[in-house]
Structure formats: C-alpha cells, structure tokens
Structure 1
C-alpha cells in the first residue's frame, strides 16, 4: 500500500515539533555558555569578519589553542537569534525545534522516495528519526544546531543530486535544461553543510555512492571500467568529477584556514588518543563504534559528556568488550558482503505501469538501493568522528550521531518491512512491537528533554556515566546558586573520582576564597597550578590571597610570573590574556598601596599596552587615575577617570573617585551630581551612600549626611563599619537619641571592640545616662587598660558623679535646716547655690577612634576599586 506523501511529511513535522516543545523553557546549558553567551562573535557589535576568521568558540582559527571547529553559518544563525531576541534562551530553542521539524520533513520525503512511498518502511523510518532520543543533545542543546543545520543542508544537497541524476539519465523531461543547475545546487549546499559543521562534507561521498551504485547501477567491475569507458564520456563522470574536485578544494581550504596545523586536545578529552600504548589505542577505537551503535539501538544511558573515564580504555585482548567489537565487525562484514553480492547480481528489472508507461523498479531493487544508501548514510558521516583519519576532541558525542542516525532508521525500516511482508503470522504482533518502540522513543525523548531544562538537572543526569565531570560542573552551579556546602561536597566528590582536575581544584579554591578560608583556598589554587601550570587564573588568585595574608613580597613575585605565562596551546586565549592584564592591574595596585606610585604607573602603562581587545579596562583606567590623584597630579587623574567613564559610563567606582576629585578641587555641585548618579545606578550599594555621606559631612551638611548614611546602615544592618559611621553622622547632626541606638548596635556587633564600647560610653555620657556610660567605659578599659581617652572620660564621669553625690548630701542637710527657716530666706539661698554651681565636665569629643575610624576609612577607599582580582575571583571554570 502506498503512503500519502503529504500525510507522512505532516506526521513527521508534527511529531518532531511536539516531542521537543518541552525544551522551549530551557536555559542555556553546558557548551551553550561558551559558544553563545560568552562568544563575542555572536554579538552584532563585533565585526562580521570575525565570524569567518574565528572558530566556533570565538578563538582565532590559527591560534595554537583553537579547537579548529569552523562553523561560520551556525554562528551567523546565533547572531541572527541575538538580533531578534537578545540572550533569551527561548528564541534559540525555538529555532532548534523548528529546524529539527524541517529536517524530519526532508528525511520523510527522502525515505518516501527511496521506498517508493511504501507505507510501512516510509512511515517507520520517518517517525523513528523524528522521535529518536539520541537527538536530544542536538535539539535541546542550542549548540547542537550545528549538527541539525548541517543535516538540513546535507539532505537538500542529496535531494538535489538525486534530481541531477534523474535529469542526466533522461528520467525527467527538463533534464537538458536543469541538469547543471541541480549539480551546482548540490555543490553549493554541500559547502553550506560543511560550513555549518565539518562532517557535512561527507554528503559529497554519499552522493557519489548514490550516483555509482543506485543511479548508474554499477557493480565493482563497472566502477573500474567506467573511468576507461568512452561510452557517454563526460556524462557518467561529470557528477563524480565535480564531487571529487569540490571535496579536494574544500579539504584544502579547511587545512589552510587551520593554519596547516591540527588542533590539540587535553588528554581528558580523548584519553585513548593520548595513551602511549598502540594496543590500547587500537582496541579502544575499535570498540567505540559499538558504544555509538548501542546509543542508536538502546538509548537508555545518555550523557552530556563521555570524556575522561566514562569509557575505560581497553588495554588487553582479555577484556570482554573485545567480543562486542568482533561481533559488530562480523555483522557489518556479513551485511556488506550480502549487499555487495546483491548489487553485483541485480538486473535492470522493470515493470510497466499505467501512468505514462514509465519504468519502475521492482521491490528487490528498491530494497537494495535503500540498503546501499542507508549504509552510506550510516557509515560515511560517522568516519570523521571515528579517529580513523585523525584524532578528535571527544570520546563519544551523541549529537555527532544526528546525521548517521538517518542511515540507521532507513536500515531498521528495511528490516522491519521485510519481516512484516514475509512472516504474515506475526504481522500484528510485529506492528504492535513497532508501535511500542516508537512510543518508548517518544517517552524517552520527552524525559531526556527534562534533563536539559537547566544545568543542575543536566549535570545530575550525567553522574552515572561521567562522575568527575558531572560533579565538577554541578559544583559550579550550586556555588553560583549560593548553596556553598553542597557545592563543596560536589567538588570533593569530583576529585575523589579524578584527583588531577585542575579546574575543579581552582573552583574549590575560589569557593573557599569567597568564604574567607584563605589557607585552604591557597592550597587548592596551588594544586590547580601543579596539575596545570598554565592556569593563569589560579596563579592570579594565589597572588590575591598572599596580599590578604600580608605576604606582599610573595604576591609581587606571583603577579609578575602570571603576567608572563605563555598562552600557546590554550583553549581560551582571550581569557588567558585578560587574566595576565588583571595580574598587572593587581601588581600596580600593590605598588600604589605601598606608596610606590611611579613604579605602579609603569606597570599600569604595560597593562594598557598589552591588554587584549576583549578586556574591559574601566577598572584599570580608574586605578591609574587614583594613582595620579595620590601623587597630586589632578589633571592626569581627571583624564583617566574620564577615560574609565568613557569606556563604561555606568562604572560606579569611577563615578565615585571622580566625584571625590571634583570635591577636592571645590567643584561641589558637580561632585554631588556624580555621587547621586552612582547612587541612582546602584541603589543597593552601601559604598555609594557612605562616600556621599562623607562628602556631605566634610561640607558640614550634617543633617543631610546623617540621612544618607543611615540609608546605608538600613541596607546592611549587620555591617559594623556602616552602622558605626551612621551613628557618628547622627551624633554630628545632633540626633543624639538615634545615635545612641546605633552605637548600642555597633557595640553588639563587636562586643570585643574597645572603640565601639568607648564611643557608646561617650554617647551615653552626653545623653546623661551616667551609670550605663561608666559600664561602657570600664568595658573599653578591660580590653585596653592604657587607653588615654577612656581613662580621661571615665575620670570626668567620676568627677561628675562625685559632684552629684556631694550636692545630693548637701541638699539633704539643707532640706532639714530649711524646715526651720522662713520661706523667703530659703528661696534666696537656692538662687545663690544655682549661681555658684560648677557645670559638669563633658566627655572628651567622641572619636571615630583610631581603630574604628581607620577601618572605616580603609573600607571607603577599597570600595573605589573593584574587589582584588576582578578577573580572577569572578570566573568559575567549567570542568573539562
């Protein structure tokens, strides 16, 4: 029974779309982050030529660390996505789903053409391809668009070549007019397929197989004689010659673009390729096709990554997995030999039909032709990933099977149709089995899509297959979500499985660095450097911790070394160069903080001269301006502050430092405008409020200053320095009761800080709460017995208490005498005592105290610059 072509194509489109609808809410995951989110080539602000000069990940193709993956058409599609929807993942996923539906429709049409629209094989092949779970990585992962897009061009090229063959061999009326158009279209689409993903070039080989073994019905002898034959000279060889020439040109161009050097991969990417044992390499590479075929036949165990030890190397003939390898190649040899004999033995059998009396192929020839093309589409597109011609940067990659799976679906459909027609007794059982198979494919695909919704679920799903990489990447996600304890556990589990992962050691160090566990962080960074000496980020953060620990000489040495690490062969040279610039920034800052301003400026000049184009220099420019300001060269300071704001107009540290400079030269109105701009940009940033408050205090606008700094204290009610500053501002504004409340809070936050107790005592003293003031003074003296101010204030307080006690005693005796004196005489005595009474001694002026005030000033100064190692502390590295 013939299938309705429109219905089959419609069913394929519907199923391919429906089964992937649950990927639309998904985030970017795994490789999406590097290929899209952090890839500058995706952004329209970057020059378009960069798409054609860089690899898929944004690294220059000729750089020694380039992946050498050249997919400019795919990157252009990401760029178009960005133009239409920015960085919203939904639009990217929608394009992937629609593209998969288009490929499913093209494949359904191809299957129908191969099977002469026979109902069972056409429908089965089309539905299997639309629903196969192994496609989830290619469709649900946005970077899989390279495979889906290459497959679309692959199918269009193959269909165009089939039309070319029909027109060439006289099977179509328009053959004379359209033959060369079809051929040129084929070649153009083949180029597009290769420019979308590398193995798209294999469509040229598939077209050649189709031409020789299907269109021209050649056997082995015919293929040998065809080259020598003068029969139809130029016609039979025209297509093959064009395919071969195009392949040679494309391969030559590809090698040229790579700079005539192959890519380099880490040993964890493809362990077998880096193993010294020839036996281990051979046996493992022979086994990998078994794993790929297993993924096609039984797609239960799927993983986002199969590198590292996901598939242990086969080092001995005694390994039982060798049996599976032997079985696979035995089956392939058997099928190949039977197919070869069938091709050689088949005859041009035709049967006349009523529609225009055109010849049609018999069922056997249809099956042979479909088998030939199915085997070609299964084997040939897989060969570039087989490590047969060159080593690749992965062990197994599910998305690489997207194109070969078409051949698999065709072959399964052929076998199913054969059994269906030749064993009538189990026809309905067989149909029920096929329906169950398709239903299981759909359920597994929908389930697997759920794993790709976010990175946490994706990495958790990969633990069973690849524990070290899964745990390592899971730790990054948990850490970013603030689940620090879980993140640390994940990192440590990753290291239990594979202790030499430099990225995981680095990320664990970063986690402990953020928690203030500096000694542990230092140890982790040092292990990262031990396993990967070129990991500049780890070197940088070692220097930052040494600065925190006060080991400045060692930090200086580390920063100098980091700035000179060679980036040859690194995967991410842009990040490496940016980190080297950050090392120079921190080295210059170290010199500037030590008062070595001229030396600092020399380092900063080198940083500016060598920084890569991708580096964001606003912090560097701001620090140069601050250094000039410390040298009282205000003109140069202003120039660099304005440079920082030109690069990034909303850079709050530069706004604050420039505002302070304007205040310094008495441009108060302009300074206030920049302070308010900083607060507007970061309403939740307490540093901006505190700087502005300090500015207002310096101009004796105490009430305004108090209002501003109190806002900061409300945002961080547990930050001692901010609460202390707010209390001092309230005191200066005359709001003594509110100041007392915040001084009490500051003392609670740091009960062992003698400055907090001293200032609380002084405020209580001023407010007349003398007993509590005495308690606070004595608490301060218990922590620092020789504090002169505390001793002075306590002496004044005691003097006042003694005077009060004396007056109270005198008052009691007077009261007794006054009962015997006339009323007028009592009033005259009271007025005389008031005139003679000595005023109480006030406490010494409240000090923001040497410790408290200096800490406050230091924190204010530090907020003018980014946290140490702006490029280091904020870059978690994906495991692998």
Structure 2
C-alpha cells in the first residue's frame, strides 16, 4: 500500500480539519494522511527509515515471532490442564454439540458448579489442535504465536488506516503491542488463546464496520451505511467474539464510539454547537441501535445460558468483592484499575496469579495507595478534558479512541457490573493494551513534533530501546510458562505473600512425590490464609499415614471452612474408617456423596465399608454406581471385581477383572487379582501366564511370592526355588520370601539348610509367626518334636486372635507332637481345641477320637469317629480305627453279659 508523504509544514487548524475529512470518492477506503498537531511547527515525527508500510508490518510480524519463539517448547500448564488435558469436549470422540452446551472447562452450563465461562469457539480451536496433534503442546503453542503475529499485524494496519495515517507511528505502536510483556500469559499460556482470538475478532469488527460506512463528504456530517452486507458481517463478528471470550463483545461499544468520535465527528460537533438534532443523524442512530439491540440480545442469551446465576466464586478468588464495607470495595476496586494501568506502564513484576493478599485491601482513606488512585483519575479526567475541549483533529480522535479502547474492554473485569473470579488477570489486558499503545505513541509523536528533529531522534531511540526491553522481558517471562514447576515456583518467588502461589507449588511438589517440600509450602499457605480449605485437605492427605490424628484435624478444619468440600468429607471418612469409628465414617462418606453424587471414589469406599459391616446388598449398589459413573475407568471394574471376590462370586469377579484389562491391558493389579480368582476356580494354567505377564512389566516380589507358591503347590519345587532366589536377589531381607524359600528347600529334602534359613529369619524377626510355623513343621518331619512344640506355641502366643481355621491347623500339629512325645492328655486337649475351632476338620475329629479311644473313653471316641466319617468316609485309617473300636465295644459287651448272668 502506498504511503502518503507527510508535508514539511503544518497547515493551520481549519485547513487541517478539512484535510482530515478529505476522502477518495471511490467508496469506503479512508485516504492515508499524516498525524497532525495543532501548532505550526516543523513536523519531525519518528526518525525512522522511509520504508513502505508493508515492510513495517513485516517487521512487526518478526518482532512478535522473535518474542515468543521460545514458547514453542513449553508444556500444557495451569489452566491448560483443565481446559485441554482434562476436558473431554476437546476430544473428537465427544459429540461436537457438547461444546455448545458446556462451559470452557467441559462442565455443563446448567451445573451449579459450572464456572459459567462460555467460550465454545475457543474450545473448538483446541479440538482442531487435538485432531492434528493430540496433546502435543507444540501445536497449541504454535497456533497461539501465529494468532498473536496476525493480531499484531492487523492492529498495526488498523490504526494506520483508521486513526494515525502515519506508517512510522503505526509501526511503533505495532512493535509495542507485539513485544509487550503483559501478553505473555495470553500467548505463552494456551488458554490465553481466548483473549487473542477475541482481539482478532475485535479488530476485524472495527475494520469492517468502518469499511461499511461511506467516507464521502456528507453535508450534514453523518455518513451513511453504503455497504450493509459488510456492516452485518461486522456485527456478526462482534457478536461471535462473545463466544470466544466474554469481553470481546465490547467491540460493539467501541465501534459506536469510533462512529461518533471519528466518522461522525463533524455532525456531532455541529449538533453540540447548534444544540439541535436534525434527521440527518439517522444513519448514526440506526447503526447505534443495531449495535445496542445486538448487545441486549447477547446479554439476554448469556443470562439464559447461566440460568440467571453468577458463577460460585469465593472470597479467595476476589477478596474485595466480599469486603464488609462499601468504602473498602470502592477504594480497592479503584486502586485495582490503577494497578492494571501500572502493569501496562511498567511490566516489571508479573505473576500468573494475583489472588489471596497479593494486593491487600485498601481499607482506609489514609492508605498511601489512595494517592496513586487519585493521581490516576486526575490524569484520566485531564486527558478526557484535553481531548474534548483542547485537542483538535487527529490528536483529539487519537486520545479519545485510546481512552475508549483502554477502558471499555476492561469494564467487564472491573467489578463495576458484576463480581469476577480474579483480582488481577494479565491476559485480560490483551485488548486494552491496544489503547495504551495508541495513547503512548500519540504522546511520543506529539513530543517529536514539538522538540524538533534533533531531540526527536533521541525520543525515537528511547522508544526503540523500550521496545527492546519489552522484548527481552517477554522472552525471559516466556520461560516461566515452560512447565508446572517453573510457573508455580515463579509465583512463590514473585509474590511470596500469595497463599495461592504456595498452594499451587505445593500441589506440584505433592504430584512429583517431593513430600517434605510440599508439606512445607502447604504449611506456609495455611499460615498466610488459615481458612484455605483445600490446603488443609491436601496437607492432611500427606500426613494421613504418619500422623492420622493431625490429618483428621486438618480435614475437620477444611470442612469447617468449606462444608461443601466433598474430598475433605471423603478423606475424613477414610481416617475414621481406619480408626474403626465406622458409624461416623459412613456418615462422612454419605455427606461427600450428598455434595457430589457422582464422586466415584466415595461410592467405592462406602461400598467397602458397608461390606466390612456385613451389608453386602447395600455395598453392591455403590460399587455398581461407581461402574456406571466411570465406564471408561479400569480401576472401577477392578474394585468391583475385588468386592465380588470377597463375597465368593468368583466367576463374576473374573468377568469384571477381564473388563478392566480390556480397558487397560497393563493393569497389573487386575492381573494379579484375576490370577487369584482363576486359581480359586482351579484354572492354574492361565494363572501362571498372568503372573508371568506382570513380572514382564515389573519385577514385583509380591507377584514372585504368589507364583512361587503356585509352583510349590503344583509340585514344581525347582521352578519355585529359582523364582524365590531371584526375589531374594531383589529383596534379600524379606522375611516372607526367605520363609517360603525355606519351605521349598525343605520340600527338596535339604532340611538342615531350611532350618538354617528360618533361624536367620527368626534372629532378625523373632515375632514372625509364619517362620515359627514353618520351622515347627520341619522339626516335626525330622522327629524333633520338642523343638517343634516350642515354635508352635510361640506362633500361637504371637497371634492370639488368629483366624479359627489357621489356629485349628496349628493346634492339630501341636496335638500330633504331644502324641509323638507320648503326652496323651496334652494331645487330647490340643485336638479337642482344634475340633472345637473347626468342626469340619476331619483329621482333628479323627485324632481326637483316637485319643479318647486310647484313654478308653469309647463313647466319646465313637462320637468323634462318626463326625470324622461324615466328613471323610474314605479315610482308610479312620475306617480301621472304627473297626478297632467296634471290636473293642463288642468285647466289652460280651464281657458284661456273663457278669449280668451271674
């Protein structure tokens, strides 16, 4: 595009105004012209090379690319996790229509917990990124940078065509916008794409709106809409911008302001001077009415989408809006406007989060910060007065439009109309920063005109130095957005008094298992903000194992500060269950589910608790609910299978484990559980295959023990020996592995080696009951019954509450040793206790019968022989004993008959 050469001498004010209104007769394109000031001085402008405007635009593109090229290797961090990684609407497998029913984070707009941020078109771009590159961050960051380059170039073009008409001034403004560090959150953070896209539509709306209006000389000063189709496209783009980011729709107010300030300036001036409105202002009124009706329609649509409810923000999101006194709210919100402008002027301190005391409330009129607020509004009023009553021509229009673009897009974030969910959000300043660039460049341009060429060179050098400093600051700031660690650590370093920054950093440290550091930052969080429920809850989860009582207090504190914290109720229930306070644990699980009926983990844990309490029918309902809620989650099927295993529904349990493995073939826990279930059903071939699959994925010694036991029980002791030796190589101090290894060694006939191994185990773990039991069995085999008795009695003392079946087995062995030592009475008592604990133990019944037989209590002997016969009718020894008893009873009867006859 040809650039109009600026004249050497300024014309007088009247001529200048005429030049400003001079246009091409061809239609709608505004003729390029130089910026003007009101004094007759030599125009110096910026001392830059005379290049075509295309070259300047290309340089702006390169500057934008240079500043953000190091963001390409960044990851998906912070809000990106929720908007992209955890958002099913981004996946092509989800119906496309979901995007238009859900909020930006994938939750239904009708949900009470929805954030109510409705940005379907932005989510659609994430979906396109996912289609081409999945969750690879590079494509998302590349798209953001390309969009920022386009917006920077379009901004440069728009202000040159519609406002400055000076390629050098437009170039400087474009450079400032492209390199400003305040944009790093919007460009380097992927979710900031909403602000970039909204800005793109914002600029397109303004540009097309102006193109739709005639720029021919109109007698009344109110140009008509000569291209209604283009006008409707502009209105459509303006309305569409709201589907990208809520404050994008403010472009409809900005275009009306541009219409009044620039396009209809002559007509508005005449009306003000004559104080009379004539019908020739109808075109402006029609365009304004169209924008107003569109805005009202969009506003009603937005209210309908939100069901007339605002998002559920809390005082930690926006403390000022929850302040008790109106004066505190007024003073703080006023100061926050100043702080936002300060970030534009001096972006030295930047943070991804400004919540929780990052900016303390202004609670008194004596607060020194009120001076900054007062100074800011004095300057704002001064600029407005200057633009309306003093400045003329392009100066007037540039200042007014700079203020409009700075202020109007910021209004939705100002808390003036409704509460917002943040204190400061740097990406919100992406669009308003264009107004800042317009004001700054116009002011510098005027300075250049007033000081002459020598000093204008210094001003030009200074502004280019500022651009270079902005670029450097942006490049450095981008590195902060590379990872969760760098981002959250930067928040702690920049704003150490920000509780939210410590909380987020602690969450990251917890996720990467840097537990001690995480605990430290959670404690700082609670010191800065004691009522932070989520911090109390998360700290409790880290202390629940070592300090359950402290964790319990933390979960309770979280519930006190936020009774609707479902996870705090859930975690408190877990502690109560471990402490065997079952009634309260059940109540907390149910409280968690009242808050979040779709909390799958709560359903599972409540089901487990109900099963422990002997209520399997109720438990089944909760397990089935968890499966319904998470049909794509392999863990839910594994958990349901575990429940079925506990109630001996092994066949159905096998089916659930298989469903789990179909969703996640490498789910090793499900493989082990399936192997145990199949072993219970007698399918040992597949059991071995499953254990081997697990061991191919990881060298789990627990699985080695299970497979070793399978080899041992299927008469493959050599395979078991080899496997246990491998396990011992991994965990040489494992008492369980060494005990089972000794059992295999004994099976292979090396009794002395087995005893040596078990003695070593007992030397290190004298209270290990299984080792006592195994060494007792080996001593029994070798005939050392006295030693065997010592170890069996030790095992019985170590586990007084041993399960009945296991204790019955030990007592049976104990009785055998007493019998072999010819201690009949002790043997009888041991057998009797074994039979009482397990009446279905046929050997205990038979041996007890034999002891009664030996002590000539034939009546008791018959009772226990008959009980044993019912359990094991094919036992040869039992049959022989019964026959001996029958002969003895018959002999007694014969002996009694002669005595009776005599």
TM-score calculated relative to the size of structure 1: 0.77
Q: Could you give the per-residue CA deviations for residues 523-576 of structure 1, whole angstroms, max 9, x where no partner exists?
A: 22222222112111122122222333343343233223322x33xxxxxxxxx4
Partner of 2:470: 441
Aligned partners of 1:206 and 1:380 also within 8 Å:
yes
1:458 to 480, 483, 487: 487
- Answer yes or no: is the 8 Å Cα contact 1:167–1:179 preserved in 2: no
How does 1:152-163 map onto structure 2 within 5 Å?
Answer: 152-163=200-211
Q: 1:26 to 1:741 in 2, by over 3 A?
A: farther
Q: Is the 8 A contact 1:35 1:143 kept in 2?
A: yes
Q: Which residue of 2 aligns with 1:375?
A: 403
Structure 2 distance, partners of 1:314, 1:264, is 24
**Aligned-partner SS, 2:243:** helix
* 1:251 aligned onto 2:299: yes
Which residue pairs with 2:571 in the alignment? 541
Q: What SS class does the counterpart of residue 195 from structure 1 fall into?
A: coil
Distance between the aligned counterparts of 1:260 and 1:168, measured in 2? 46
Which residue is equivalent to 2:767? 753
Partner in structure 1 of residue 440 of structure 2: 412
Where 2:520 maps in the other structure, the secondary structure is helix
Out of 594, 600, 618, the residue aligned to residue 619 of structure 2 is 600
Which residue pairs with 1:657 in the alignment?
673
- Aligned Cα root-mean-square deviation (Å): 3.8
Separation in 2, partners of 1:449, 1:191: 32
Query: Which of the two has higher C-alpha Rg?
Result: 2
Aligned position for 1:432: 461
Cα displacement string for residues 27-74 of structure 1 (whole angstroms, at most 9, x for unaligned residues)? 222212222221221222222111111111112112222111111111
Q: Establish whether residue 519 from structure 1 lines up as the match of residue 549 from structure 2.
A: yes
Instruction: Determine if contact 1:3/1:118 at 8 Å carries over to the other structure.
Output: no
The answer on 1:505 being equivalent to 2:536 is yes
Provide the C-alpha distance between the structure 2 equivalents of 1:416 and 1:371, rounded to a whole number of angstroms. Answer: 12
Contact 2:769–2:798 (8 Å) recurs in 1 = no
More divergent stretch after superposition (616-625 vs 143-152): 616-625
> 1:683 matched to which residue of 2?
698
For residues 333-352 of structure 1, the aligned pairs below 5 Å read 333-342=381-390, 346=392
1:75 to 104, 123, 134: 123
Counting only pairs closer than 5 Å after superposition, residues 538-577 of structure 1 correspond to structure 2 as 538-563=568-593, 565-566=594-595, 576-577=596-597
Match among 412, 418, 429 for residue 384 of structure 1? 412
The answer to whether the 8 A contact 1:73-1:195 is kept is yes
**Structure ranking higher on relative contact order (CA contacts 8 Å, 6+ apart):** 1
- Once the two structures are superposed, residues 709-733 of structure 1 have per-residue CA deviations (whole angstroms, 9 ceiling, x without a partner) of 5555555566554565555556556
Offset at residue 270 of structure 1 (A): 0.7
TM superposition shift of 1:698: 3.8
Answer yes or no: is 1:492 the counterpart of 2:523. Answer: yes
CA separation of 1:207/1:668 partners in 2, compared to 1, >3 Å: closer, same or farther? same
Contact 1:280-1:314 within 8 A present in 2 as well: yes
> 3-state DSSP class of the match of 1:268?
coil
- Contact 2:743–2:774 (CA under 8 A) maintained in structure 1: no
Higher mean Cα deviation, 305-314 or 459-468? 459-468
State whether residues 131 and 442 of structure 1, in contact with CA within 8 Å, keep that contact through their aligned partners in structure 2.
Answer: yes
**Does structure 1 retain, via aligned residues, the 8 Å contact 2:225–2:231?**
no
SS of match in other structure, 1:444? helix
Identify the match of residue 380 of structure 2 among 328, 332, 338.
Answer: 332
**Residue matched to 1:583:** 602
Q: For 1:841-872, what per-residue CA distance to the aligned partner results, in whole angstroms no more than 9, with x for missing partners?
A: xxxxxxxxxxxxxxxxxxxxxxxxxxxxxxxx
- Corresponding residue for residue 154 of structure 2: 106
Mark the CA change 1:766 to 1:153 in structure 2 (over 3 Å): closer, same or farther.
farther
**CA 632–452 in structure 1, closer or farther in 2 if over 3 Å, else same:** closer
Cα drift, residue 372 of structure 1: 2.6
Q: 1:329 deviation in Å?
A: 1.1
Question: Aligned residue for 2:18?
Answer: none
Please give the per-residue CA displacement for 1:636-674, whole angstroms capped at 9, x wherever unaligned.
444544554555555444444334333333333444444
Rounded to whole Å, the distance in 2 between the matches of 1:184 and 1:227 is 30
Q: Relative to structure 1, is the Cα distance of residues 781 and 627 closer, same or farther in structure 2, using a 3 angstrom cutoff?
A: closer
Per-residue CA shift, 1:124-168, capped at 9, x if unaligned? 111110111111111111111111111111111111112112468
Distance 1:388 1:785 in 2: 71
Say which is worse superposed, 624-633 or 365-374, in terms of deviation: 624-633
Structure-2-length-normalised TM-score? 0.75
State whether structure 2 residue 278 is matched by structure 1 residue 229. Answer: yes
Q: Go from structure 1 to structure 2 and tell me whether the alpha carbon gap of 1:477 and 1:204 turns closer, same or farther (over 3 Å shift).
A: same
Counterpart contact for 1:589–1:623, Cα < 8 Å: no
SS at 1:245's partner residue?
Answer: helix
**Correspondence 1:701 to 2:716:** yes
Larger mean CA deviation between 754-763 and 393-402 belongs to 754-763
**Structure 2 equivalent of residue 398 of structure 1:** 426
Quick one: distance in 2 between partners of 1:341 and 1:168? Answer: 26
Measure, in 1, the Cα distance between the counterparts of 2:691 and 2:771: 32
**In structure 1, C-alpha distance between the alignment counterparts of 2:717 and 2:518, rounded to whole Å:** 46
Paired position in structure 2 for 1:475:
506
**Is residue 96 from structure 1 mapped to residue 144 from structure 2 by the alignment?**
yes
Aligned residues: 752
1:127 lines up with 2:155 in the alignment: no
Deviations 1:252-296 (A, max 9, x none): 111111112222210111111111211111111111110001000
For structure 2, the 5+ residue unaligned runs are: 1-5, 7-49, 801-806, 821-902
Which residue of the other structure, out of 131, 138, 144, is the alignment partner of 2:186?
138
Contact 1:737 1:767 survives alignment (8 Å): no
With over 3 angstroms needed to count, the CA separation of the structure-2 counterparts of 1:26 and 1:245, relative to structure 1, is same
1:208 corresponding residue in structure 2: 256
Q: Relative to structure 1, is the Cα distance of residues 236 and 631 closer, same or farther in structure 2, using a 3 angstrom cutoff? A: closer
Question: Contact 1:134 / 1:399 at 8 angstroms: preserved in 2?
Answer: yes
Distance in 1 of aligned mates of 2:519 and 2:706: 36
**Equivalence map 1:599-638=2 (5 Å):** 599-605=618-624, 607=626, 612=629, 618-638=634-654
Q: Where does residue 851 of structure 2 map in the other structure?
A: none
Aligned-partner Cα distance in 2 for 1:204–1:157: 8
Q: Is the CA contact (8 Å cut-off) linking 1:68 and 1:263 kept in structure 2? A: yes
- Distance in 1 between residues matched to 2:699 and 2:233, nearest whole Å: 59
Map Cα deviations across residues 455-495 of structure 1 (whole Å, 9 max, x no partner). Answer: 22222322343531111111111222222221111111111
**Distance in 1 separating the partners of 2:295 and 2:533:** 40
CA distance in 2, matches of 1:712, 1:183: 77
Q: 1:627 to 1:131 in 2, by over 3 A?
A: closer
| Structure 2 Cα separation of the partners of residues 222 and 730 of structure 1 | 110
Q: Which residue of 2 is the match for residue 842 of structure 1?
A: none
Check 1:121–1:394 CA distance in 2 against 1; reply closer, same or farther (3 A cut).
same
| Unaligned segments of structure 1, at least 5 residues | 347-364, 567-575, 800-880
Alpha carbons 2:113, 2:312 under 8 Å: kept: yes
Structure 2 CA distance, aligned partners of 1:488 and 1:621?
33
Instruction: Name 1:85's counterpart in structure 2.
Output: 133
Q: 1:727 to 1:254 in 2, by over 3 A?
A: farther
Cα distance in structure 1, aligned partners of 2:626 and 2:734: 35
Instruction: Please report how far the alpha carbon of residue 766 of structure 1 lies from its aligned counterpart in structure 2 after TM superposition.
Output: 11
Report the CA distance between 1:203 and its aligned residue: 0.6
- The whole-number CA distance in structure 2 between the counterparts of 1:728 and 1:127 is 79
8 Å Cα contact 1:578/1:615 also seen in 2 = no
Q: 1:664 to 1:751 in 2, by over 3 A?
A: closer
